[in-house]
Amino acid sequence: MSLLPNWGFRNTVHAYHSEDSVKLPLKSITEDSQQQGKISLDKFVSTRIPEIIDGASYNLKPYLFTGTLQTLYTFKADFHLKYPVYFAREIITITEDESINLKNIFNHLNPGEFTLDYVVDPPNDELDSKIFKEKYLETLPKGYPNLHPRCRYYTINEMNSLKNSWLKDNQPISIIVPGLAGGIQEAPVRATCYKLHKQGHHVLVLNQRGCSRSKITTPYLYTGLSTDDIKFIIHKFYNYFGNNNNKRQFHAIGYSFGGLQIANYLIKEGKDSKLTSAVTISSPWDLNESMSHINNSLSGVYLFQPAVVYFLLKMVKSNMEILNQNSEIFSEEKYNKLKKKIKTSVEFDDEYTCKLVGLPSGKIYYYAASPLCKIFQIKTPLLIINSKDDPMISTDYPYLEVKKHPWIYMATSDLGGHYSFIKNNGDFWFPDVVENWIDSWKELDVQTPHDIDDNGWDIPIRTDL
């Protein structure tokens, strides 16, 4: 394997999949036909989504010729006019009683708040900035942070009307889970929202607790093992929108750390996942390796690691009044002592994150939260998209494991950075791939993994070692 960094602008895709992929049931050709064909996952991809077949190629922006440049451009350039998406925000509140009463379904559902941003067509009158601002100020809860552009809280009646409009059709619903500090402020997230919404799909973004200007109301932060907020929303939407004879489909799309959480959700649920499929983009599979990767590169040490640490410490500081209720972990005295000492996310996780999940060290937390060790427990169709020049995570992807895994299709490319992949025309490459993937599932008679016959495939996980 070459130790030289990848660079250039002509990008090539490399595909990995099992030779015996799961067989997906196609919808009947006619309404009265009882015959139902099947198609393997790898053939489904090769015939519907040619952008990610082995050897597919396309050109990136020539002056963004390394993963570091791609990534820096993605998070510094102004894409607001390119992807003018509007969002309706809803607060999801988990009460103390709910967290206790639902223990049989959600093992780690903590009380508190997180938010959802639904992609919406803006009412015509709200295209007038003055009218939008008036409604924005009317609906902003007292004491809550200001929101990003083109996003406002919806009233209960407005939200009910929006959900009722979704009930009138059978379009797929896609739930996007952003990365560590992500949300609708990120161009890659808005680009995907824009593409899917333009094609008539229903889309929403799940904001982690305290992220994207959400408010933390209880002393709990999210971690790589935090999947119950995601599971809560998937179950809620499945029960509300999917309990019909039309098999409405539900997809999850995770970026970076959000993709890691989705992978861990799939691992915990096995074949009982309520998702039709999932997509992860630039997500780590081995957190220990990824921490080593970012801490041993110049771009990691001087650019990306300081940004991650700044976000993590700021999140603790901004929510200290609430977090201090769990003073054993989040005392203000401890924070003031550590804020100048913590220079890496490894040090942050060793002081804070591992204690949140009851583990003795950050390194042990990384082992527990890494999907790689439990990848064979995934039994939901999964598309993995990564680049080999990602400056933020380990690029030692699970190539051999995926070749043995009938439920997974992985597309890696030589170039693209950290969920960037900016083409020569300035558009992101992957939103078209995601849209084609989700739209193609309409041809399949699948709502959940139980609709797919995997011939009893299983790789038992030994626990006696």
> Does residue 370 register a pLDDT over 60?
yes
Q: What is the pLDDT of residue 151?
A: 96
Per the domain annotation, does 125 fall within a domain? yes
Arithmetic mean of pLDDT over the chain: 92
Q: Where are the alpha helices (DSSP H) in 280-324?
A: 287-295, 298-299, 305-318, 320-323
- Cα–Cα distance list, 420 to 60, 212, 251, 446 (Å): 10, 19, 21, 30
Residue of 381, 449, 378, 437 whose CA lies nearest to 409: 381
At which residue do the structure tokens 């009380």 appear? 111
What pLDDT does 6 receive? Answer: 75
Tokens 């070749």 locate to 403
- 299 pLDDT band, cuts 50/70/90, is confident
Kindly tell me if the per-residue pLDDT of 285 is higher than 70.
yes
Question: What single letter denotes the amino acid at residue 277?
Answer: S
Whether residue 333 lies inside any domain: the answer is: no
* Residue 8: HSE in the Cβ half-sphere, 13 Å Cα cutoff: 13
Contact 57, 12 (CB under 8 A): yes
Where helices occur in 153-227 by DSSP H, the ranges are 156-167, 187-198
Say how far apart CA 115 and CA 135 lie, in whole Å: 19
| Whole-number pLDDT of residue 218 | 94
The answer to the question of residue 4 being in a domain is no
Strand ranges (DSSP E) for 242-369? 250-255, 277-281
Q: At what angle do helices 257-269 and 228-241 cross, to 10 degrees?
A: 70
Nearest Cα neighbor of 443 from 14, 29, 55 is 29
Q: Please compute the mean of the pLDDT values over residues 37-57 and round it to a whole number.
A: 96
In percent, the amount of the chain with pLDDT more than 90 equals 83
Other beta carbons within 10 angstroms of residue 332's beta carbon come to 14
Q: What are the backbone angles phi and psi of residue 267, rounded to the nearest 5°?
A: -65, -45
Say if 462 falls within a structural domain: no
Q: Catalytic residue positions?
A: 256, 390, 418
CA angle 355, 357, 362 (to 5 degrees): 55
Q: Pick the closest to residue 145 from 86, 88, 214, 208 (CA basis).
A: 214
Cβ pair 88, 159 in contact under 8 A: yes
Contacts of 246 (CB under 8 A, 6+ apart): 170
Model pTM? 0.95
Per-residue pLDDT band at 8 (split at 50, 70, 90):
confident
**Tokens 């999932």, residue located:** 278
**Which pLDDT value is given to residue 181?**
83
For 276, list phi and psi in degrees, rounded to 5.
-75, -45
3-class DSSP state of 35: coil
What's residue 402's pLDDT? 98
DSSP helix, strand, coil percent of the chain (3-state; round to 5): 40, 15, 40
Is-contact 279 383, C-beta < 8 A? yes
| Least confident span in 22-31, 186-195, 265-274, 456-465 | 456-465
Please report the pLDDT score of residue 26 as a whole number: 95
Residue with tokens 């626990």, as numbered in its chain: 463
- Using DSSP's 3-state secondary structure scheme, residue 76 falls into helix
The reply to whether 361 falls in a domain is no
User: What is the average per-residue pLDDT within 251-275?
Assistant: 97
Res. 460 pLDDT band, cuts 50 70 90: confident
Question: At residue 465, does pLDDT exceed 90?
Answer: no
pLDDT digits (tens, 9 = 90+) for 312-356: 999 999 999 999 999 999 999 999 999 989 999 999 999 999 999
Kindly report each contact of residues 324-331 with a partner whose C-beta sits within 8 Å and lies 24 or more positions away, as own/partner. 324/219, 325/218, 325/219, 326/219, 326/220, 328/355, 329/219, 329/355, 329/356, 330/219
Domain membership of residue 410 (yes or no) is: yes
Give the C-alpha separation, 427 to 84, whole Å: 14
Q: Give the structural domain span for 73.
A: 10-27+38-286+370-449
Compute the chain's Rg from CA coordinates: 22
Give domain status of residue 416, yes or no: yes
pLDDT at 33: 43
The residues with which 25 forms a beta bridge, in sequence order, are: 38
CA angle 47, 48, 50 (to 5 degrees): 75
Residue 81 resides in a domain: yes
Number of domains within the chain: 1
Instruction: Give 392-442 pLDDT, tens digit per residue.
Output: 999 999 999 999 999 999 999 999 999 999 999 999 999 999 999 999 999
Q: In what order do the strands lie in the sheet with 408-413?
A: 57-59, 10-17, 408-413, 382-387, 277-281, 250-255, 173-177, 202-207, 112-120, 86-94, 151-153
CATH number for position 71:
3.40.50.1820
CB 40 within 8 A of CB 23: yes
- At 30 the pLDDT is 42
User: Is residue 245's pLDDT more than 60?
Assistant: yes
Assign 7 a pLDDT band (cuts: 50, 70, 90).
confident
**Whether the predicted pLDDT of 35 surpasses 90:** no
Q: Is the pLDDT of residue 32 over 70?
A: no
